[in-house]
Structure 1
C-alpha cells in the first residue's frame, strides 16, 4: 500500500498540533505528513503581550517547526493556490520557482489576519499585534517614545510621544494595553525627566464592554482596574481617523498620538481566496463537526479545516452557533481532526468535535489578572497565576515550557530589561551610510 500524503497548510496552533499528532499516530508506511508555512516557527500568540513587555524572551514564545516536527517534511514557503478538484497545491518557496505538491488529504489551517477597517491614516500609522515581529516592534517603539519624551524640550512633542492608543477591547487589546503600561511604568524609574502622570494610555472600544468572552461583571472589574491606573477608557466609541498621527474619535475628541495599536478583531487568511473550498458569509471554510470541509450537504473528500479560518458548528450551543476563534478551540480541534484523519486512513468513521468553552484568563500586568473558568471567577494575583499556569501548560514542547519557567523565575530576582533595540528594524542603515555606492560603469 502506498502511503497517503497529508498536506498541512499553515503551522499555527491547528497546523502544528495536527501535524505533530498525525506524525505520532501514523507510521511512515501509512502516511507522509508535509507541512508548508513561510515562517520557520509557530507563534504561541497568548504569550505575545508578555514577550512585548519583556517578561519572557521573544524566542521562547515561538516553537521551531523543524525541532518539533522531526517526522514531518517541512517546506518553507507559502501556498499560493489549492486546486482540490485535482488535489494539488501550488507552493512558492522562500526562494526559487514555484512547485506543485499533490496530496490525498489536506488540512487547511492558514489561520487569520488582522481585520482592519478603511480608516484614514490607519495603514500609515497603525501597528498590529498578531506576530512576534509586531510584539518586538511595539516594545521597542514604546521605549523609544520614552527616550523622545525625555529628550525634547517641546511639550507638544512630549505629549504626543507619551500618548499610547489601543483600538479594540478584546483579550489581545486588553492584555497588550495592560502589559505595555506596566512595562512603561517600570521603565520610568530610569527617566527622572518623566512622571507616570505624563503618560496617557487610551483604550478605544466600539461596543459598551470589554472582554466579551467573560461575564459583564468581570469586564466591568477589568475596566475599574484600568481606570485605577489612570487609563483613559472610551467605550461605545470608534476610531474615525488617525491621519498624520492625529486620533479622531466618534465622541468628538481628537489628540495626537505617536502610538496607535490595532487589535480590533481578526478575519480568515486571504490565502483562502486562492482555493476552491466552500466559504460562508464571513469567508470561513464551511465544516462539519467532524472538521471535514462540507459544500452544502456534500462532504468534500480529503479536505479538513479548523481554527480561526473555519466555521465549525458548536455542538454545546443552539444550532447556528460556531466555535469562537480562540487558541482553546484550535488546539482541541487540531487533536480531534488529526484523530479523524487517522480514522479515515484506517477505514474507520470520523468523530464529531464537541467542547464546551472552559472560560478565559487574561493578564493585566505583573501580578494582576482576571479569570473565569468553568464558572469560577477570580481576580488579582490568583487570576494572574492561573493565566501563567494555563498557558505554560499549553505551549508545545518541554523545551519551551522550561525556558518560559526559567524566564519567570529569573524575573523574581532580576529587574525587567527596559532597553529598546530599535536598530533591529533597520539593521543596514548605519552600514549603508558608512559605505559608498559604487557606480556600475566604474572601471
Structure 2
C-alpha cells in the first residue's frame, strides 16, 4: 500500500488529509500527517482570541479527532530526501528516525518574516500562533492591573502603550481588536482613562490594507483615529531595544507590548530538502500542485500547497503571477491537491488549481468591519456581521463552528471575559512557595 506523507498540519495539510480520507478507497493508501503541533490553527481568529472574543481552544482543530483514518505524528520534520523517498522525523522525546514514503506533500506553511532591526527579536511577539495570541491578551490585561496601581508618568505610559508593526490585514485586525479590548477594560479601572492608553501602528508604505480599495482603507484610518488609535504611514521601525521604540520620523516612545505582523515567509523546513526552491524560498509548483524543477520538469511523487509553495495564479490576479499566501488559497489548494493525488494513484490526469479571489473581509473590533469584493465595499456594522458570518462558517468541522458561534452569543449576553491566566506560564510557583522541603 503506497504511503502519503504530509509535512505540516496547517490549512493546506489538514484539508489535504481530510479530503484524502474522503476520496481514497479502503486500503488504497496510507496517509501520515507530521506536525509539531497536534492541531490546526484557524489564524483569522487570532485577533479575536487576543481580544478575548473567542476561547483559544475553539480556534484550533484537533488533528487526531478529525483525521480519524490518518496516522498523526506529533514531531518535527528536519529533512526531506526525495531521492531516497524519506523524511527525517524528530519527535520531542526519543531519537530521530527516517520514514519512507511514496508521495510527499509539503504543506509546512509560513512563519513571521522579520528584518534585523535592533531589539525586535528580543522584545516583539508575532501573531501566527494561538500561543502568541493568548500571550498578547494576557500581557495587555495584566498591564492594566499594574498600571492602575501607578501614578501618571513614564512607567504607566509604557505599560499602556501598544505597538503593532505592519498594516496588512493581520496587523490592522490585531490593532483594532486590541484597541477595542483596551476600551472595554477601562470601565473596570476608574483610575484610568482612554487618554492614558496609547496605540501605535507602524506601516512602511503610504497606505494600509492593500487588499481593499484606497477609499476603504481611508475609512479604516478615520475609524481608528476616532477610537484614539494612531497609524504612522510611510514610517519604519528603526529600533526596539529594551522596549524603546524609535521611528524613522525621529519620534520615540516606550512600549511594553510590541507585536510584529509585517509579512510572512515560507517555512524554513524547505531549506532541508532536495526539492527545487525558487528565489523567495518557496517550493516550485505547477498549477496542478505537483513540484517542478526550474526547467518545468515534474518531480514525481512530490506535491505542495499553501504558503510554502509558489503556485501559479491562473486567474492573473496574483502578485508576480503566483497565488498570494492566504487562507482562501491554502484551503482550496489542499482540497484540489487531494483530488489530484488520488487521480495520479489511479492513473488519471490531475487538474489545475484555479480560484478567483472572492474578496476580503476584516473585523475591526466589536461592531466594526470592512468588506471588499471588486468595487463593492461595505463598512461598519454590516461588514462586521459579514466577517463573523463568513469565518463562523469557514472554520472547519461543525463542532468547531458551534463552539465559536456559541461563544459569540454568550459574549453578547454576558460581555467579554477579561480574566487573564498569565500565571499558567509558571504553574508550580504557587505550590512551591508553600511546599515543605527537607532540612539541610
Does TM, normalized by the shorter one, top 0.5? yes
List aligned pairs for 1:11-90, cutoff 5 A.
11-90=9-88
Q: Which residue of 2 aligns with 1:93?
A: 91
* More moved, 105-114 vs 408-417: 408-417
Q: Which residue of 2 aligns with 1:403?
A: 403
Q: Which residue of 2 aligns with 1:310?
A: 309
Deviation readout 1:167-198 (Å, 9 max, x if unpaired): 00011111111111101111110101000111
Residue 7 of structure 1 and its aligned partner are, at CA, apart by 0.4
SS at match of 1:289: coil
Structure 1: how far apart are the matches of 2:35 and 2:331? 18
- In the alignment, is the contact (CA less than 8 A) between 2:411 and 2:417 conserved in 1? no
Aligned CA RMSD, in angstroms, stands at: 1.5
- In the alignment, is the contact (CA less than 8 A) between 1:359 and 1:375 conserved in 2? no
List aligned pairs for 1:116-155, cutoff 5 A.
116-153=114-151, 155=153
Count of equivalent residues: 438
TM-score (norm 2): 0.97
1:166 maps to 2:164: yes
Structure 2: how far apart are the matches of 1:327 and 1:436? 52
1:209 maps to 2:220: no
Sort the Cα spacing of 1:354 and 1:191 in 2 relative to 1 into closer, same or farther, 3 A: same
Deviation readout 1:308-330 (Å, 9 max, x if unpaired): 11001111117951000000011
Q: Which residue of 2 aligns with 1:266?
A: 264
Structure 1: how far apart are the matches of 2:54 and 2:403? 9
Q: Which residue of 2 aligns with 1:221?
A: 219
Sort the Cα spacing of 1:341 and 1:437 in 2 relative to 1 into closer, same or farther, 3 A: farther
Sort the Cα spacing of 1:347 and 1:354 in 2 relative to 1 into closer, same or farther, 3 A: same
Q: Which residue of 2 aligns with 1:351?
A: 351
Deviation readout 1:311-350 (Å, 9 max, x if unpaired): 0111111795100000001111111111100110010011
Residue 156 of structure 1 and its aligned partner are, at CA, apart by 1.1
| 1:108 counterpart (106, 109, 112) | 106
Deviation readout 1:23-73 (Å, 9 max, x if unpaired): 111023211100001111100000111111111111100001111000100
1:176 maps to 2:174: yes
List aligned pairs for 1:297-336, cutoff 5 A.
297-317=296-316, 320-336=320-336
Residue 433 of structure 1 and its aligned partner are, at CA, apart by 4.2
Residue 429 of structure 1 and its aligned partner are, at CA, apart by 3.1
- In the alignment, is the contact (CA less than 8 A) between 2:317 and 2:356 conserved in 1? no
Residue 153 of structure 1 and its aligned partner are, at CA, apart by 2.4
SS at match of 1:315: coil
Q: Which residue of 1 aligns with 2:284?
A: 286
SS at match of 1:151: coil
TM-score (norm 1): 0.96
- In the alignment, is the contact (CA less than 8 A) between 1:137 and 1:425 conserved in 2? no
- In the alignment, is the contact (CA less than 8 A) between 2:194 and 2:228 conserved in 1? no
- In the alignment, is the contact (CA less than 8 A) between 2:79 and 2:272 conserved in 1? yes
Deviation readout 1:219-265 (Å, 9 max, x if unpaired): 11111111111211100100000111110000000001111110101
Q: Which residue of 2 aligns with 1:253?
A: 251
Residue 271 of structure 1 and its aligned partner are, at CA, apart by 1.1
Sort the Cα spacing of 1:197 and 1:154 in 2 relative to 1 into closer, same or farther, 3 A: closer
Q: Which residue of 1 aligns with 2:426?
A: 426
Structure 1: how far apart are the matches of 2:313 and 2:438? 63
- In the alignment, is the contact (CA less than 8 A) between 1:9 and 1:110 conserved in 2? yes
Deviation readout 1:139-186 (Å, 9 max, x if unpaired): 000011111110112511111111111000011111111111101111
Structure 1: how far apart are the matches of 2:430 and 2:69? 42
Structure 2: how far apart are the matches of 1:83 and 1:9? 13
Structure 2: gaps spanning 5 or more residues: none
Structure 2: how far apart are the matches of 1:82 and 1:321? 27
